[in-house]
Amino acid sequence: MYDYEEFCPISKTASILGERWTIQIIREMHFGVTRFNDFRKFMPSLSPTLLNKRLKSLEENDILYRRKINQQKGFEYILTPGGKAMLPIIQEMGKWGVGFVFDSLSDNELNAERLVRDISFTIDGSELPSGDTVIRFKFTDLDQNPHWFIKTHNGKSEVCDGVPEGEIDVYVTSTLMAFTEIWMGSQNLQTAIDREDVIVVGDQIYTQNFARWLGLNIYAAHNPKFEMLDQAS
């Protein structure tokens, strides 16, 4: 951790948060990630060695603490009150980033697992029929693991491990790049559907209000492209 040798609280904060991957670890914890392997899953470019080092540093600075998992091997990481208080800071960074420095995506920035997980957080179950709804995403530009599933049960959504039991209600087909751009507010969903960049198949009860129940990334509305697309529509 770099010491700026200043009494300024901004410098003190920067000395903790300025280290590589630290902000992203706190971001994932606010999404509910608590276990070492899950951090690795959603941040595949972060090495286990560096992840371990950053977690220890955050623990030493009272941002998180480690506790034994009941009746299981291993530990989980929990935010302290100080770590929880960082949520509005993280959110404001996201708004600023999408508004001023988020221009275009490269292939190495894409992550299907994280995208589908984030989508599961924003699905509006009140717009779906009661009971179970199963959504299958197929990303045609992925050679491995192109299929991903979300199951919504009475308003609560979760990503499925493998193919869920029962019928699939909605089939969504797109490239990972195209759907990520839509999710981040850089492309208009209806325009993509009209161009067949996104294909949505299912009963009309699901497809006619697809955009309404799908939702978008919480920062999408701060994307300048989203504002232009919204005005154009």
Residue 166 has pLDDT above 50, yes or no: yes
Question: How confident is the model over 6-62, as pLDDT tens digits?
Answer: 889 989 888 888 999 999 999 999 988 999 999 998 898 999 999 999 999 999 999
Question: How confident is the model over 84-116, as pLDDT tens digits?
Answer: 999 999 999 988 888 887 777 888 889 999 999
How far apart CA 157 and CA 153 sit, in angstroms, is 6
How far apart CA 16 and CA 38 sit, in angstroms, is 22
pTM of the model: 0.80
Tell me the residue type at 130: S
b/e per residue 51-66 (b: at least 16 CB within 10 A): beebbebbeebebbee
Residue pair 109/146 in contact by the 8 Å Cβ criterion:
no
Q: Per-residue confidence at 226, pLDDT binned at 50, 70, 90?
A: low
Task: Enumerate domains of the chain plus CATH numbers.
Answer: 9-85 (1.10.10.10), 107-232 (3.30.1050.10)
Helix (H, G, I), strand (E, B) or coil at 65: strand
Q: For residue 133, what are the β-bridge partners? A: 152
Query: What Cα–Cα distance (Å) separates residue 25 from each residue in 33, 116, 142, 157, 165?
Result: 9, 19, 26, 23, 33
Average pLDDT over the chain reads: 89
Percentage with pLDDT > 70 across the chain? 96
Q: For residue 157, what are the β-bridge partners? A: 152
- The pLDDT assigned to 230 comes to 54
